[in-house]
């Protein structure tokens, strides 16, 4: 399959109509229909369910859409790097990261880089460690920032100097809100909202002194803002990192740290043996100097 075919396919998936996609692409409808039929023949499976007014993706179509978006993004990124003038420092640097206050140490270097090289543009994408790792492996981002616990040994990486503190976000009318710190026994039996990244065998699970099966985990999240809405509605207690949600005195939520104290470092990683764009190499050198 060709890049052009993938771009055509994504247009049809986006517009949910071959006729509308044809207008966007400035091609004839019969030509686009033939291209999609050829793509289905090449793959050996149906990509669309064709209705009277719109087309929808099959399961195979949804899988191809995800991969096609990654392939086209990587193609565009590679083209931009090839066309970039060698005597100028410009281009895009993409960083993927989970939510963390400690990310501020990286953002300081971003600001310094942009002051010196105004033609360099930074793109930040958010997600849990699984999403960031997949994007980094597929070359869709240049750097990934991972919150421990996450094994970064398959990458080259630097440990960032700041640490995040683990705790619990709860409603102010909760009985636990009167405590200065939360011990494992306080949470036994209570409805818990856990980060998907924090699940599994790690120091957070060990802190609870119980297995996940013994805990009352009622929901999981990958973005804390969404978890805070669940807490506000009384669904449970969110186990999370401090200083991500701005909790003020007027808020109906409160953060309480865990005890024994539990902290996590962050690591910024990049693919081993990868050839980084010139602007990304300079950013990495500036980051190394900052951390020293």
For 174-199, the pLDDT digits (tens) are 999 999 999 999 999 999 999 887 77
For residue 85, the model assigns a pLDDT of 63
For residue 259, the model assigns a pLDDT of 96
For residue 286, the model assigns a pLDDT of 93
Placement of tokens 């064709």 in the chain:
50
pLDDT at 148 over 90: no
User: What burial letters (b/e) apply to 134-173, b meaning 16+ CB within 10 Å?
Assistant: ebbeeebbbbbbbbbbbebeebebbebeeebbbbbbbbee
Mean pLDDT of the chain: 89
- Which residues have a Cβ under 8 Å from the Cβ of 223 and sit 6 or more positions away? 99, 126
pLDDT at 201 over 70: no
Q: Binning pLDDT at 50, 70 and 90, where does residue 292 land?
A: confident
pLDDT tens digit string along 19-47? 999 998 989 999 999 989 989 999 999 99
Phi, psi angles (nearest 5°) of residue 178: -80, -10
For residue 245, the model assigns a pLDDT of 86
pLDDT tens digit string along 218-236? 999 988 899 999 999 999 9
Q: Binning pLDDT at 50, 70 and 90, where does residue 142 land?
A: very high
Provide the terminal-to-terminal Cα distance of the chain, rounded to the nearest Å: 47
Indicate the SS3 state at residue 254: strand
Cα angle for residues 10, 62, 23 (degrees, 5° grid): 25
For residue 253, the model assigns a pLDDT of 95
For residue 267, the model assigns a pLDDT of 93
For residue 215, the model assigns a pLDDT of 95
pLDDT at 70 over 90: no
pLDDT tens digit string along 89-130? 788 999 999 888 888 889 999 999 999 999 999 999 988 888
pLDDT at 86 over 60: no
User: What burial letters (b/e) apply to 185-196, b meaning 16+ CB within 10 Å?
Assistant: ebbeebebbbbe
- Which residues have a Cβ under 8 Å from the Cβ of 190 and sit 6 or more positions away? 216, 236, 237
């Amino acid at each position: 399959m060709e890049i052009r075919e993938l771009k055509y396919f994504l247009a049809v998936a986006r517009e949910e109509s071959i006729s509308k996609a044809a207008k966007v692409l400035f091609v004839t409808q019969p030509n686009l229909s033939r291209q999609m039929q050829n793509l289905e023949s090449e793959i050996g499976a149906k990509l669309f369910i064709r209705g009277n007014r719109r087309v929808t993706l099959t399961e195979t179509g949804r899988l191809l859409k995800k991969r096609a978006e990654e392939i086209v993004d990587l193609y565009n990124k590679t083209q931009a790097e090839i066309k970039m003038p060698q005597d100028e420092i410009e281009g895009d640097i993409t960083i993927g990261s989970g939510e963390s206050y400690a990310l501020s140490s990286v953002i300081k270097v971003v600001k310094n880089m942009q002051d010196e090289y105004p033609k360099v543009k930074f793109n930040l994408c958010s997600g849990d460690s699984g999403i960031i790792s997949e994007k980094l492996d597929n070359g869709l981002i240049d750097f990934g920032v991972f919150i421990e616990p996450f094994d970064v040994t398959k990458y080259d990486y630097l440990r960032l100097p700041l640490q995040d503190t683990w705790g619990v976000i709860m409603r102010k009318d909760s009985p636990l809100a009167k405590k200065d710190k939360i011990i494992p026994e306080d949470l036994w039996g209570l409805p818990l909202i856990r980060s998907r990244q924090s699940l599994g065998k790690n120091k957070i699970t060990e802190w609870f002194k119980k297995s996940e099966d013994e805990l009352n985990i009622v929901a999981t999240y990958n973005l804390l803002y969404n978890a805070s809405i669940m807490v506000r509605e009384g669904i449970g207690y969110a186990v999370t990192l401090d200083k991500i949600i701005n909790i003020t005195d007027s808020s109906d939520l409160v953060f309480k740290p865990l005890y024994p104290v539990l902290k996590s470092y962050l690591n910024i990683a990049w693919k081993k043996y990868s050839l980084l764009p010139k602007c990304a190499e300079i950013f990495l050198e500036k980051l190394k100097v900052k951390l020293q």
